Amino acid sequence: MKAPNNPFITGGYFSAAYFCDRVQESSEIIRTLTNGNNMVLISPRRMGKTGLIEHCFHQKEVVTNYHTFLVDIYATSSLREFVFKLGKELFDTLKPKGKHFVDNFFSVISSLRPAFKLDPYTGAATFDIGIGEIHEAEFTLEEIFKYLESYDKPSIVAIDEFQQISRYPEKNIEATLRTLIQKCKKSNFIFAGSQRHLMHNIFFSSSRPFYQSASLLQLAAIHEAEYLPFVRKHFQHNKKEIDEETILEIYRLFEGHTWYLQQIFNELYSVTEPDGTCTLEMADKALRNKLYAYRPLFQSTLNLLPERQKEILYVIAKEGKVSQITSGSFNKRHGLPSPSSVQTSVKQLMDKDILTSENKVYSVYDRFFGLWLKDEFGTGWKI
């Protein structure tokens, strides 16, 4: 495989050589699944869930013994769309395996047969169906699972951004899915999600169908002791230098949040000449440039917010992390309206994914946005 131009991958998965650590997590996931159990994988967005799933799917043990499918349902809003996505993912994975697989797919999943079309130019089979043509989503889903069960090898199906199902309008989605999944003897599942409270409600509320149906893995940041040598190794591989202090300052500024680190080191790698050294000043400049590039996006996000919400957002961005969101003294100190009104605004900002909270400590979800706000409305930041 050709090496990527830049070893710091910022989208998707390339190969194990460009993937840092996650040794323990990978082995836990693989062990859980190969022992016939399902897995729930939870972390904030951009921490590395999807990458980790891909990484597991590339391990020899998995490649040899399983068929793997990864379906991202972030943009879906109904069971019909879910079924469409899953059907298409299966089809796209099977197609390269040959005509026999495609024929078998449409023969078992008869309700998707209208999706079978031939490309008029190449003659290749395509999966082409309007979401409106999926009439009985539940029935099709049942057929899809039946198909997986009839397959030569067992399957691992990862459903990414799974919390989305709790927004579907159809009734009893969770019960339906749970029943179908429970019937699968040859398939195991990874349910990944970024919205912790929604995921927790699905899997850890005793009244819900998925209650305790899967083992939990909460994905934390990659440890600095692993990330530091990873960065140095990739710089040095191309005769570039970067000192430990620079790496650590950046790591700490972003609290090890994977995507942000990869973004910055990708940039720093590209601006460091071969035989050159990456300095702290270069890092500062690279980060400021990055925030500047996002400026229009950040401004339009702010434009869409009512003043009440902006007020509290600025305070949180200024402070970085806030725990006493509804205490009287906090409100007074920052000239905020009544605690109940602050609470409403905070909830609305959380629903929009602009704020996030961890054990009742609130912060700006997007770390670049947080730094930018700190510059605009606070005392700035420094690495």
Ligand X SMILES: Nc1ncnc2c1ncn2[C@@H]1O[C@H](COP(=O)(O)OP(=O)(O)O)[C@@H](O)[C@H]1O
**How crowded is residue 118: how many other Cβ atoms within 10 Å of its Cβ?**
11
DSSP symbols for 34-50: HTT--EEEE--TTSSHH
Of 21 and 224, the one with the shorter C-beta distance to ligand X is 21
Instruction: Name the segment binding ligand X (CB under 6 A); options: 45-53, 73-81, 114-122, 318-326.
Output: 45-53
Of 7 and 87, the one with the shorter C-beta distance to ligand X is 7
Compute the distance between CA of residue 239 and CA of residue 208 in angstroms, rounded to an integer. Answer: 55
- Phi first, then psi, for residue 242 (nearest 5°) are -150, 130
Report the nearest approach of ligand X to the CB of residue 44 (Å): 7
Q: Which does 19 bind (CB under 5 to 8 A by kind): Mg ion, ligand X, none?
A: ligand X
Binding letters toward ligand X, positions 256-275, x by CB under 6 A = --xx--x-------------
Q: Is 163 in the site for Mg ion (CB under 5 A)?
A: no
- Phi first, then psi, for residue 355 (nearest 5°) are -110, 160
Compute the distance between CA of residue 172 and CA of residue 62 in angstroms, rounded to an integer. Answer: 33
Q: Which does 10 bind (CB under 5 to 8 A by kind): Mg ion, ligand X, none?
A: ligand X
Helices (H) and strands (E) in the chain, counts: 16, 11
Report the nearest approach of ligand X to the CB of residue 48 (Å): 3
Question: Using the 8-state DSSP alphabet, how is residue 256 labeled?
Answer: T
Of 47 and 325, the one with the shorter C-beta distance to ligand X is 47
Handedness of CA 176, 180, 182, 188 (dihedral sign): negative
Of 235 and 259, the one with the shorter C-beta distance to Mg ion is 259
| Count of residues that bind ligand X according to CB under 6 A | 20
Instruction: Name the segment binding ligand X (CB under 6 A); options: 19-27, 81-89, 115-123, 277-285.
Output: 19-27
Q: Which does 7 bind (CB under 5 to 8 A by kind): ligand X, Mg ion, none?
A: none
Closest CA to 39 of 207, 210, 171: 210
Q: Which residues ranging from 220 to 249 are in contact with ligand X (CB under 6 A)?
A: 222
Of 12 and 123, the one with the shorter C-beta distance to Mg ion is 12
Q: Is 51 in the site for ligand X (CB under 6 A)?
A: yes
Q: Which of 26, 50, 140, 195 binds ligand X (CB under 6 A)?
A: 50
Question: Using the 8-state DSSP alphabet, how is residue 3 labeled?
Answer: P
Compute the distance between CA of residue 189 and CA of residue 197 in angstroms, rounded to an integer. Answer: 20
288 contacts 282 by C-beta, under 8 angstroms: no
Q: Is 50 in the site for Mg ion (CB under 5 A)?
A: yes
Of 266 and 348, the one with the shorter C-beta distance to Mg ion is 266
Q: Is 164 in the site for Mg ion (CB under 5 A)?
A: no
Q: Is 49 in the site for ligand X (CB under 6 A)?
A: yes
For the chain, state the CA radius of gyration. Answer: 23
Of 49 and 80, the one with the shorter C-beta distance to Mg ion is 49
Which tokens go with 151? 């397959």
Handedness of CA 323, 327, 333, 334 (dihedral sign): positive
Summarize as ranges the residues that interact with Mg ion (CB under 5 A): 49-50
Summarize as ranges the residues that interact with ligand X (CB under 6 A): 9-12, 19-22, 43, 45-51, 222, 258-259, 262
